[in-house]
Chains A and B, each alone.
Chain A
Amino acid sequence: GAVVSQHPSWVICKSGTSVKIECRSLDFQATTMFWYRQFPKQSLMLMATSNEGSKATYEQGVEKDKFLINHASLTLSTLTVTSAHPEDSSFYICSARSPGQGVETQYFGPGTRLLVL
């Protein structure tokens, strides 16, 4: 089946630094990718929709200048957490869709755990 990878799987950084998380579709082209955030013991909250070659669409309450999304190719989307603070510590999960496989076909990455000290 289709595979989506994320890198890194976990990262620890100091407060004020920026962290980049990569999401790759390994065996299909993903015109649309999604970024979710999950706090401990909570559900996944959609942060933004990333479209190849265009600007990301952010959900209400998500700061676009803080969470920079770049979907530069059909297999790669990146999420950069700028000037990270401890409250940004969370589990970040991406997912990818391929329209050729139907709207309902979505594949999730394994997630990236971010800890900001």
Chain B
Amino acid sequence: SQQGEEDPQALSIQEGENATMNCSYKTSINNLQWYRQNSGRGLVHLILIRSNEREKHSGRLRVTLDTSKKSSSLLITASRAADTASYFCATDNTGGFKTIFGAGTRLFVKA
């Protein structure tokens, strides 16, 4: 089962621009994670934000979490062609032990 939705489903931007992806989920969570997946490859863990945190930074990545709206956003600043990939949010639900993935956003950064 999938936890929620991500938007946009696909995003095409120019190198140097910022990319923002959103994720919504349905149940109470312990934490939310963002992953990157290059075409046909495995997952790369980007960042984890706990339910009691509102914002987190890692390099060019900025993640926000709004538990009242059950949503999160991932901002990639100064995008590069190498950022072209699919990005997924995933949640660890309260009381559960499973990680459930969102639908993903396919990002294409044009050089």
Interface set of A (CB-CB < 8 Å, partner B): 32, 34, 36, 41-46, 49, 59-60, 91, 93, 95, 97, 103-104, 106, 108-111, 113
Contacts and interface: CB of A to CB of B under 8 A. Distances in A.
Contacts, number: 53
Given A32-B97, A42-B103, A45-B101, 16 more contacts: A34-B98, A36-B101, A43-B2, A43-B101, A44-B88, A49-B97, A59-B1, A60-B1, A93-B42, A104-B30, A104-B48, A104-B50, A106-B99, A108-B45, A110-B41, A110-B42
B2 A109 contact: no
Main secondary structure of the interface of B (DSSP, over half): strand
A49 B99 CA distance: 10
Contact of B42 (A41, A49, A103, A108): A108
A46 B43 contact: no
A23 B92 CA distance: 21
Interface residues on B, range: 20 to 34
B104 to A, nearest CB: 5
User: Which residue among B30, B43, B104 has the maximum number of chain A CB atoms within 10 Å of its CB?
Assistant: B43
A49 B43 contact: no
B20 to A, nearest CB: 19
Contacts of A59: 1
Contacts of B35: 108
Interface in B5-55: 30-31, 35, 40-43, 45, 48, 50
Contacts of A108: 35, 42-43, 45
